[in-house]
Amino acid sequence: MKIYKLICLICSFICCGNAEAFEIKFGSLEQGGIVYGTAKGYTEIKIGERRFMVDDNGDFLLAFERDASKDLNMSLIKKDGTEKQQLLLLRTNKWDVQKISGISQKKVTPSANDLAAIKDERRQVQEAVSMVTKIPYWKNGFMQPLNGRVSGKFGGQRIMNGHKMNPHNGMDIAAPVGTPVAAAGDGEVVLAANDLFYTGNVVIVNHGYGLQTIYAHLNEISVKNGQKLKKGDLIGKVGKTGRVSGPHLHWGATLNGIRFNPITLLQLNNSEKNNISSL
């Protein structure tokens, strides 16, 4: 049996008892991954300073940062505030290096005149990805928003026009301008903004429990703020707005502010049980 299956099996029996149980049901116990599980008898999970909600059925989502420790200390919190400590084991990943050229130098080394636009973009995005709602949109599963060549992997160290940048926090899918982009899952639009400095025309969808997906560099946007969506609904079309070297969709995902590999969302579907992999 492979090590990740052993880890999932161990997690299935952690904290077992008459009224309490902790189980990882689906997803990726790895750096940059997300998991869906149950924690019967608990109301909240805490990892470091981050808190993750547990609903009345015991269901929860946990996501792990690109550089998360392989040994994570987790606190399972009951309604009365008492905690149970548990160690969560993650698989580590090796990230590639992505050298990108042909980007407008203004977008790589912005001038002082661009700082206000950058600050406003960060504010809008942060407000959108900070939303935590109890509506379980995410339980209907996820799909890839479009098919195409993966031109940028999650987690890769980026070097743009020779300048070392932050690691890539999403997945880039190359496609011709005008290619339809679908909602990866059920949810509500919490940001539909045009002409932001880095992301260009961007849409952010809230899927509940602190989970959002991000669709950037669109040519056009087909939704509006507050609009309810079903998985597969049209969000917009592929473009090359913002900081890009060519037409593509930047697909991102965040849970409680943790940026993780969006392709691991597909493993929350029942048909992808414990299928740990990354692009």
pLDDT of residue 162: 74
For all residues of the chain together, what is the average pLDDT? 87
Domain extents in the chain? 3-89, 97-272
Residue 61: closest CA among 226, 190, 207: 207
Neighbours of 184 (CB within 10 A): 27
What are 100's strand-pairing partners? 160
Tell me the one-letter amino acid at 36: Y
Distance CA 190, CA 171 (A): 20
User: pLDDT per residue over 77-113, tens digit each?
Assistant: 998 989 999 899 999 998 888 777 777 887 778 888 8
Distance CA 252, CA 260 (A): 8
User: pLDDT per residue over 136-187, tens digit each?
Assistant: 999 999 999 999 999 889 988 767 777 777 788 899 999 999 999 999 999 9
Could you tell me if residue 204 is left (phi over 0), alpha (psi between -120 and 50 degrees) or otherwise beta? beta
Q: 209 near 257, Cβ under 8 Å?
A: no
> Using CA atoms in the order 105, 216, 239, 237, what is the torsion angle rounded to 10 degrees?
-170
pLDDT of residue 13: 41
pLDDT of residue 5: 42
Collapsing DSSP to helix, strand or coil, 106 comes out as: helix
pTM of full prediction above 0.85: yes
Q: 168 near 98, Cβ under 8 Å?
A: yes
Q: Could you tell me the pLDDT band of residue 273, with boundaries at 50, 70 and 90?
A: very low
Q: CB-based contacts of 42: which residues, under 8 Å, 6+ apart?
A: 20, 22, 54, 58, 76, 77, 78, 84
Domain 97-272 has CATH 2.40.50.140: no
Identify the CATH number of the domain defined by range 3-89: 2.60.40.10
pLDDT of residue 270: 60
What are 143's strand-pairing partners? none
pLDDT of residue 15: 44
Q: Could you tell me the pLDDT band of residue 269, with boundaries at 50, 70 and 90?
A: confident
Neighbours of 94 (CB within 10 A): 6
Q: How many residues does the chain have?
A: 279
DSSP at 247:
S
pLDDT of residue 53: 94
